[in-house]
Structure 1
Amino acid sequence: MARILLAEDDASMRQFLAAALTRAGHAVEAVEDGEKAYAVVREGRHDLLLADIVMPGMDGIELARRAAEVAPTLKIMFITGFAAIAMKHRYHVGPRAQILSKPFHLRDLVDQVDRLLSA
């Protein structure tokens, strides 16, 4: 079981993803924006940050960049409909950052999360 921090501004998507990851055996803490996620990251209790890129306030790219500074072992995965933007900024948050493009099947999400966590 991994501890996952999910940052997603769309409430229904956030609940849907959190439920799927919880069913897969992970402990999920879900927040609605980058500022809240960053406050949680600084507490250092998660294994993975799963972040949408487009969020109000602090976007997922900035969140991941800041998270990598304060929690260098935190694994990062973007969920986005804007994969090209994520690829462009990927190395600002570390080459380990993974990208899952929307739309995706929940099985793909769980599989990618499990692969990233086991790497």
Structure 2
Amino acid sequence: MIRILLAEDDSSMREYLARALEKTGYKVTAVDRGTEALPLLERETFDLLLTDIVMPELDGIELAQRAAVLAPDMRVMFITGFAAVTLKSGAVPKDAKLLSKPFHLRDLVLEVDRMFEVGTATEL
């Protein structure tokens, strides 16, 4: 089973995304900030880091940079409500995806499915 670490500071968005991904068969561990995600990355294995970019204490880009050291094979997808945020070349994993809010759950699941070459989005 594909394991996703979701870091999202908005509680309703975090619960909404976690439920949708779990409904389609993914195992999701959800946290409300990057500083809560780091200890999990040190002791558990995840296939995908799904992170908001703008969060308190530790933003999603810095979290992804630290995660790349702890889990270099883990994939990364950013979600953001700030379309103007640009990802600097070399600052994030080269294959990281970016999904801008608002988005439909189907779009999120399709992107995750594509990353792992599975087909669960039809369930939404």
Determine if the TM-score, normalized by the shorter chain, exceeds 0.5.
yes
Assess, with a 3 A threshold, how the Cα gap between structure 1 residues 97 and 50 changes in structure 2: closer, same or farther.
same
Distance in 1, matches of 2:2 and 2:84, equals 28
Amino acid at match of 2:50: L
Assess, with a 3 A threshold, how the Cα gap between structure 1 residues 90 and 112 changes in structure 2: closer, same or farther.
farther
Q: What is aligned with 1:77?
A: 77
Amino acid at match of 2:102: P
Shift of 1:91: 2.8
Structure-1-length-normalised TM-score: 0.92
Shift of 1:39: 1.3
Amino acid at match of 2:96: A
- Number of residues of Structure 1 aligned to a counterpart in Structure 2: 118
Shift of 1:42: 1.6
Shift of 1:88: 2.5
Counting only pairs closer than 5 Å after superposition, residues 87-106 of structure 1 correspond to structure 2 as: 87-89=86-88, 91-106=90-105
Shift of 1:22: 0.2
5+ unaligned residues in a row in structure 1: which ranges? none
Q: What is aligned with 1:65?
A: 65
Distance in 2, matches of 1:3 and 1:73, equals 13
Distance in 2, matches of 1:47 and 1:11, equals 22
Structure-2-length-normalised TM-score: 0.89
Shift of 1:45: 1.3
5+ unaligned residues in a row in structure 2: which ranges? 119-124
Assess, with a 3 A threshold, how the Cα gap between structure 1 residues 90 and 82 changes in structure 2: closer, same or farther.
farther
Amino acid at match of 2:53: I
Report if the CA contact (8 A) 1:3-1:47 is conserved.
yes
